Amino acid sequence: MSRSVRPDHRPGESGDRLGVGGPVRGAGRPHALLVTVLLSEKESSMSATSGWPVVLASVVILLGCSSAPESLTSTVQADHFATAQWTEPINLGPVINSPDSEAAAALSPDEHTLYFVSNRTGGLGGNDIWASHRKCKTCEWETPYNLGAPINSAAAEGAPTLSHDGRMLFFFTTRADSIGLADIYVSHRLRTNADGDDDDGDTDEEPATAVWGEPVNLGPNVNSALAENGSYYTREGGGPNAVLYFNHVFPGVNLEIYRAEISKDGMPVGPAVAVSELNDPVAADQKVAIRKDGLELLLSSNRAGTFGSFDIWRFTRHSVQERWSTPPEHLGSPINTPDIDSQPSLSRNGRTLFFTSNRPGGFGNTDLWMSTRMPDDR
């Protein structure tokens, strides 16, 4: 299937560039990130038309559930993690990580479920979304399970992120009915509060697996003829609409961060716009994670100052009405290394960080790692 590609067209923004998902590892690109997605007939045709290589990283994030929208304060607040130090990262071990590739972890709000992307055996396509449960916050992770259809398909899926009430799941996929090479979709949970992720203190010993409805494409306000991925749902300022951050991948495998307001039904209310202060003009900036209060943002980038391929950077602001601070803070060692350190995911209280790395000590191509910190005023 062939399709005309217009790299100069951006939904709602005349003259803006369009982009592709997250850095990945491809032939001849030792510093590209994560799992190379096999191209379908449609994608191969589009790649030849646009004249640039198509490689997609599975990017995974989960925000969880609460019974009501959270109201974020607009008053100036102190940065309680300004001088907090991250602990030496630990590998999540052989139950979560495999000899294949695991990436883009996402912790549910009650911290009992971990979502991530993997190309391990047992999946439906190239990269699938998987999840693992644990019975308590200090309990061991249980054997991961594949989310199955209709979330996963014979194509590639990644970057899961949940709405604040856990009833909507956003993710990207390269399936055949997408507008471009990779699009962001939303699925509504048909069985509510079924997987223990309702953030109400539920301590069911064996939570049931959620049942998800048929995914719906977010349409041209978010998706383009090229590729979008790295979706991340959050609420900013307590307004009626939520916000979806995501990646646009541009020709030349350059990534930028965009945001779109999202209605209660999960659909964008207007065209997405670039978050200019987060984007480096000559680097790939991908996969954000935002603390619950909306005052801290982490992203992975290969911008100047990185130790290796991709490193994790930190932006802050004093209120949710402000722009993100520049220049960002490089997290440094022990989080960043000369290897790939990417796709951060923060717990809601900001104390736990999950990320993807191919540093020594792993079990496969890329593994999931974890580090913790305590606030300065503990």
Contacts of 265 (CB under 8 A, 6+ apart): none
Q: Residue 288 pLDDT more than 50?
A: yes
Task: Give the pLDDT of residue 15.
Answer: 34
Q: In the predicted model, what is the mean pLDDT of residues 258-286?
A: 94
Q: In the predicted model, what is the mean pLDDT of residues 242-253?
A: 87
Q: Residue 64 pLDDT more than 90?
A: no
DSSP three-state, residue 277: helix
Task: Give the pLDDT of residue 77.
Answer: 55
Q: Residue 300 pLDDT more than 80?
A: yes
135-143 contacts: CB < 8 A, separation 24 or more?
135/203, 135/205, 136/112, 136/203, 137/111, 137/112, 140/95, 141/92, 141/93, 141/95, 141/96, 141/114, 142/95, 143/95
Q: Look up residue 124 and give its amino acid.
A: L
The pTM for the full model equals: 0.77
Task: Give the pLDDT of residue 78.
Answer: 56
DSSP three-state, residue 137: coil
For residues 280 and 242, the answer to whether their CB atoms sit within 8 Å is no
Contacts of 258 (CB under 8 A, 6+ apart): 222, 228, 245, 246, 247, 248, 272, 273, 274, 275
Q: Residue 322 pLDDT more than 90?
A: yes
Q: In the predicted model, what is the mean pLDDT of residues 196-220?
A: 66
Task: Give the pLDDT of residue 98.
Answer: 95
In the block, residue with structure tokens 């982490």: 298
Q: Residue 355 pLDDT more than 90?
A: yes
Task: Give the pLDDT of residue 100.
Answer: 94
Domain boundaries, given as residue ranges, for the chain? 41-372
DSSP string across 38-82: PP-HHHHHHHHHHTS------------B-SS------S----TTT
Contacts of 74 (CB under 8 A, 6+ apart): 237, 319, 320, 321
Question: Would you tell me how many other CB atoms lie within 10 Å of the CB of residue 360?
Answer: 7
**Residue ranges in the chain assigned as alpha helix (H):** 41-50
- Report the Cα–Cα distance between both ends of the chain, in Å, rounded: 58
Task: Give the pLDDT of residue 378.
Answer: 58
Task: Give the pLDDT of residue 317.
Answer: 94
Q: Identify the CA nearest to 291 among candidates 347, 225, 371.
A: 347
Q: Residue 295 pLDDT more than 50?
A: yes
In the block, residue with structure tokens 């071990």: 93
Q: Residue 340 pLDDT more than 60?
A: yes
Q: Residue 281 pLDDT more than 60?
A: yes
DSSP three-state, residue 298: strand
Q: Residue 119 pLDDT more than 70?
A: yes
Q: Residue 30 pLDDT more than 70?
A: no
Task: Give the pLDDT of residue 42.
Answer: 36
Residue 236 has which token pair? 């900013």
Q: In terms of pLDDT, which residue wins out, 127 or 57?
A: 127
- Phi, psi at 45, each rounded to 5°: -65, -45
The model's pLDDT over 136-195, given as tens digits with 9 standing for 90+, comes to 988 999 999 999 999 999 999 998 888 877 788 899 999 999 999 999 999 998 974 444
User: In the chain, what percentage of residues exceed pLDDT 90?
Assistant: 53
Q: Look up residue 172 and give its amino acid.
A: F
> How far from the centroid of its chain's Cα atoms is residue 377's Cα?
29
For domain 41-372, the CATH superfamily is TolB, C-terminal domain (2.120.10.30)
Task: Give the pLDDT of residue 189.
Answer: 87
Q: Identify the CA nearest to 181 among candidates 134, 250, 100.
A: 250
CA dist., res. 115 & res. 127, Å (int): 13
The Cβ-side half-sphere exposure at 335, using a 13 Å CA radius, reads 29
| β 296-301/311-316 pair status | antiparallel
The total number of residues shown for the chain amounts to 378
Q: Sorting pLDDT into bands at 50, 70 and 90, what band is 128?
A: very high
Task: Give the pLDDT of residue 219.
Answer: 96
Which of 59-68, 77-86, 360-369 is predicted with the least confidence, judged by mean pLDDT?
59-68
Q: Residue 21 pLDDT more than 70?
A: no
